[in-house]
Structure 1
Amino acid sequence: MTPLHYAVIKNCIEGANILIIHSADINERDVNDKTPLHYAVECEDTTTIAEMLVSNNDIEIDARDKNDKTPLHYAAKKLYFGQRIVSLLLSHGANIDAIDAKGKTPLDHALHYFYLKPTAKYLIACGASKSEELQNDSSYSEEEEEEYSSL
């Protein structure tokens, strides 16, 4: 893990900014292949750092970790600031239908949690496709299936 990873995880905006100004590699990966952007969208209250990272032209917006998850996969599962981060990533060109190692898209992750229904609706409004994996998943109850179909 790099100093920039730590600054992001600790939500140290000033430290992250200094590191970026002094040419820290914003796309460097840790042992889990996560970039600082993965952590910025995964941790709570790191919206400002995420904004700072994506504003850099060199950012790999669709960088994949060891599970093939992009930052958008993590943002879609976030309760607080999730929709704001999703919007930020999409506005910088994130692939809305990126598929992870388990065949799941960011929309699939949002739909997995009932409390993320607004994020799921937002992703659909932005053009997210319902994955074949989710459409063929028989583990959903009738109620969940109706909820999914209504989105």
Structure 2
Amino acid sequence: MTDIKTLIEKQKRMAEELVAEAEAYYEKVGPVEVETVFGDRPATFRVPFMHPSEFSELADRFAPRPGVAVDMPLWFNLDAVARNYPGVTLVIDGEVDDLFRVREKQAVYVWPELYPQMPPEDQKEFRMAVWGLNVWEPQQRREALLARKKEEAADA
């Protein structure tokens, strides 16, 4: 009976360690900066990394658009996800704006209002930042880790 308890405890620790490792990795992923120009004024938007479960929840709210090439390989509407992306901050001349405003005694996140005002080429850059942080980089990291594991197994 003791062996079963020991095994159960060991497995619990393994799962907890795995989750802790993942969380530590997620905390280290820094934001991506997207440069833009509004009129004649340069600005930077900082795009934070989203926890994978939070990103999945956001992406699941916006189905891919039929016939839109950029959405086809994805499970979501990239433009809508970019427009509704949380935690974006604006930096102008070193000053940071969290993009929250008080309206009718409520905090309102204004990024969804700013996104359509960006020049189209900068919207594209923003979409690429969202995709890179939350889709491409995790896929690349996963593939590299699995390839390394496969190589190590072959060498053993």
User: For this structure pair, what is the TM-score category when the shorter chain's length is used for normalisation?
Assistant: under 0.3
Rg (Cα) greater in structure = 2
Calculate the TM-score normalised by the size of structure 2: 0.22
Calculate the TM-score normalised by the size of structure 1: 0.22
Q: Relative to total residues, which structure has the larger strand share, 1 or 2?
A: 2
Greater relative contact order structure (CA < 8 Å, 6+ sep): 2
